[in-house]
Structure 1
Amino acid sequence: MNTPILEVSDIQKYYGNKGNITKAVNRISLSVCKGEFVGIMGASGSGKTTLLNCISTIDTVTSGKILVEGKDITALRGKQLSAFRREKLGFIFQDFNLLDTLTAYENISLALSISGIKAKEIDKRVREIAGALNITEVLEKYPYQMSGGQQQRVAAARAMVTNPALVLADEPTGALDSRSSHMLLDMLEELNQNLSATILMVTHDSFTASYCRRILFIKDGKIFSEIHRGAKSRKEFFEEIMEVVSVLGGETNDKR
């Protein structure tokens, strides 16, 4: 697990003009290796979502470099950038973002179709990921015909079917009830352990973060500290997270 999939090198993201500059991200460097499950935590306005937005190419950096599989993504534009997002990144959203007019099969296969993959290969990949996530029986159903848990798994299958280098999740449990949150987190753990998915997740919630193997804490646009789960139980890791959160200034119900 020593191959860096993601390398963030001294990135900065400023907003505003000379008279009133906000340093949302202030010289952050980090790396994520293949197969890691990394969490990013921090209070509202700490810069954690801005950091994720820069990595996901939703936002552009002011300075510094971001490499994914050795390619500097800060230099990509237009079609190259679109192709990179489609082929190298998987996104897991709070509200699934499934298209209501498409079946589960069509939702999962859409990115492959856009990429021009042959129908036979698409079918093979969709059925493989559906089998791995136990949703084969809903492939011909529309989102309204599925349970919330099934929709979650279809959304995860859509994120994974392109074999992305990196799966990005921004507050994935933010809009979910307790039971649905547990299901989603179990599924992310499953993707990480069984399918070797490399996951980077932003969360403000210590329980959610306890599913990660490593956590970076962001404060005022900088990395404040880092902890590893190692051989600890999830309960022990949760308690360690809570200790750092209390030093940072307490749990916050923010959406940043």
Structure 2
Amino acid sequence: MNSILKVENIEKYYGNKENITKAIDDISFRIDEGEFVGIMGPSGSGKTTLLNCISTIDNVSSGKIIINDQDITKLKSKLLDKFRQDELGFIFQDFNLLDTLTCYENIALALTIKGENVHNIDKKIREIASILGIYDVLNKYPYQISGGQKQRVASARAIVKNPALILADEPTGALDSRSARMLLDRLENLNTELKATILMVTHDAFTASYSNRVLFIKDGRIFNELIKGNDNRKEFFNRIMDVVTLLGGDDNNVF
């Protein structure tokens, strides 16, 4: 199977010679096309730094990050911007929608920036809106819709340009439990129906249980890995909670 993401022996240091912090300590893993992978770890474990490096927000101190056969650690300014624009989709905890644009226009913006043919934009927006259940809010502004709807609009914006890899940073963090379940169900459908490749950072075991595989980070290193296999989601959740307990996490979510 084609590997969308290869992380090879990456390290990330902060500070100077007198006070160096190693946020990432020799991490390696890969994600194949069509996988839905979760990353978990306690505060300060390095999971956010790892996501920032993969998303090109931050640079690694050493090692390689290869996305769709392109070593992003070697890309410079303009080429990196274009790569980010074409190959990565982002789903943020705080939505990052523009209140001056309608939901339709927020989604269309991603395609316009990419240079999509204008005749294809409407078709693609309406297709993804139907899958995510936001067709009826396309003409509304973000301030007119619920938090769950905003996150699904943000998800549509990330997915509509068909990126190689979708990066989700605590996507349910600002949602109530009902909205979170609805979003996770939609992300699961995108993964199974459209074969979207998703990497999701979360502190929440229930959210992680929607993924097919979970990497646990502790002190900047991979502590453990769980593969869902033939488990149902409740069984996978219980296994995740066992590892969270070993990590010393404070996750009190119940299924």
Q: Is this a same-fold pair by TM over 0.5? A: yes
Q: Which runs of 5+ in 1 are unaligned?
A: none
Measure how far apart 1:75 and its partner are: 1.1
2:249 counterpart letter in structure 1: G
CA contact (8 A) 2:169 2:201 kept: yes
The aligned residue for residue 91 of structure 2 is 92
Deviation per CA, 1:169-223, whole angstroms, max 9, x where unpaired?
1111122222222122112112111221111011111111111110001111111
Shift of 1:148: 3.0
For the residues of structure 1 that align with 2:180 and 2:136, how far apart are their CA atoms? 23
Helix, strand or coil: the match of 1:130?
helix
What residue ranges of structure 2 are gaps of 5+ in the alignment?
none
Give the length in aligned residue pairs. Answer: 252
Name the SS of the counterpart of 1:129 in structure 2. helix
Is contact 2:244–2:251 with CA below 8 Å preserved after alignment? no
Note if contact 2:205-2:251 (Cα within 8 Å) is conserved in structure 1: no
- Structure 1 pair 175/130, CA: closer, same or farther in 2 (3 Å)? closer
**Match status 1:247 vs 2:246:** yes
SS in 2 for 1:81: helix
Q: What's the CA shift for 1:236? A: 0.7
Runs of 4+ in 1 over 6 A off after TM superposition: none
- 1:8 and 1:31 in contact (8 A); partners too: yes
TM-score of the pair, normalised by structure 2: 0.94
How far apart in 2 are the matches of 1:252 and 1:242? 8
| 1:91, distance to aligned residue in structure 2 (A) | 0.8
Percent identical pairs in the alignment equals 67
Give TM-score scaled by structure 1 length. Answer: 0.94
Q: Which amino acid aligns with 2:193?
A: N
Contact 2:40 2:203 survives alignment (8 Å): yes
- Find the aligned partners of 1:226 and 1:149 in 2 and give their Cα distance: 30
Query: What RMSD in Å do the two structures reach over aligned CA positions?
Result: 1.4
The within-5 A match list for 1:1-256 is 2-251=1-250
Q: d(CA) in 2 for partners of 1:149 and 1:17?
A: 42
2:249 & 2:239 partners in 1: Cα distance?
13
User: Which stretch has the larger CA shift, 132-141 or 100-109?
Assistant: 132-141
What letter matches 1:231 in structure 2? Answer: N
Distance apart, 1:8 and its partner CA: 0.4
Q: Distance in 2 between matches of 1:43 and 1:150?
A: 28
Q: Cα deviations across residues 97-130 of structure 1 (Å, max 9, x unaligned)?
A: 1111111111001021122222102222212212
